[in-house]
Amino acid sequence: MSTLKIAIDGPAGAGKSSIAKAVAAKLGIVYIDTGAMYRAIGLAALRRGIDPKNADAVTAILPEIDITISHDSDGQRIFLCGDDVSDEIRTPEVSVAASDVAVCAAVREKLLELQRGLAEKSDVIMDGRDIGTHVLPNADIKIFLTASVEERAMRRYRELKEKGTECSFEEVKRDMEYRDRNDSERAIAPLREAEDSVRVDTTGNSLDESVEKILCVIKERR
């Protein structure tokens, strides 16, 4: 029996994770945050004192890295070599490291197999940068989420401040613009809108409003 596959792509801060998690809860399906996997590898590099931009060094440690995913009432938990790093991977430093390691072909190959395997096990909504174009090109429904860079940076800034992270709006915006360039310009599976995806702009929308927009798209497409 085939599983339902919903792909959500878009730049950093567009609301992919929050929206996809809420939609998954309403539909009773599994939410998979692929960005967390790249963050885990970025964290692994930082823990070992490796420059995340050094593709050769990152590739060399991949055999030592074990990433597993579990789901509970709070959503997805991610484990790095048995260590729950679900909170640790959300720092600005790890965000940038994730974008850097995502350029590495060996990293993308390692995670592609894991991501596709998870999508075959149950009905899923999966978010990332290349889900509809590369990871799940035959997804039943594809959505491309976007918002202005100012709005995306402000969302991330507020999120970090709520967690007690010291940062300025300008720093957050600069990091986001850096990640946008990295994601869009990388040679392998860059961020781009799939031809058969539905574009949803969340600028100015509340989380509930964005979730309703996505649910309407899914209802129309199923």
Q: How many CA atoms lie within 13 A of 27 on its CB side?
A: 24
56: pLDDT strictly greater than 60: yes
149: pLDDT strictly greater than 70: yes
- The confidence score (pLDDT) of residue 172 equals 94
41: pLDDT strictly greater than 90: yes
- The confidence score (pLDDT) of residue 24 equals 94
Q: Region 87-114: what's the mean pLDDT? A: 94
- The confidence score (pLDDT) of residue 42 equals 98
Sign of CA dihedral 128, 129, 135, 139: positive
Q: Region 124-136: what's the mean pLDDT? A: 94
Contact 176, 152 (CB under 8 A): yes
- The confidence score (pLDDT) of residue 154 equals 95
Cα(17)–Cα(5) distance, integer angstroms: 16
CA angle 34–17–25, rounded 5-degree value? 105
Residue whose C-alpha is closest to residue 142's, from 156, 158, 129, 157: 129
Dihedrals φ, ψ of 4, to 5°?
-80, 130
- The confidence score (pLDDT) of residue 75 equals 79
Report the 10 Å Cβ neighbour count for 129.
27
Which of the residue ranges 14-18, 97-101, 144-148, 187-191 would you say has the lowest mean pLDDT? 187-191
Cα(124)–Cα(139) distance, integer angstroms: 10
pTM to 2 decimals?
A: 0.89
Residue type, 139: A
- The confidence score (pLDDT) of residue 88 equals 95
Residue-wise pLDDT for 159-197, tens only, equals 889 989 889 999 999 999 998 998 898 888 888 999 999
Contact 106, 91 (CB under 8 A): no
Confidence of residue 31 (pLDDT cuts 50, 70, 90): very high
Beta strands 30-33; 198-201: pairing state:
unpaired
Dihedrals φ, ψ of 75, to 5°?
110, -145
| Greatest CA separation for the chain | 49
- What is the number of structural domains in the chain? 1
- The confidence score (pLDDT) of residue 19 equals 95
SS (HEC) of 116-136: HHHHHHCCEEEEECCHHHHHC
- The confidence score (pLDDT) of residue 71 equals 85
- The confidence score (pLDDT) of residue 108 equals 94
Kindly compute the dihedral angle of the four CA atoms of residues 206, 209, 215, 218, in this order, to the nearest 10 degrees.
-80
Contact 5, 143 (CB under 8 A): no
**Residue numbers of the domain that contains 52:** 5-221
Q: Region 16-35: what's the mean pLDDT? A: 94
Confidence of residue 1 (pLDDT cuts 50, 70, 90): low
Here the CATH number for the domain that contains residue 83 is 3.40.50.300
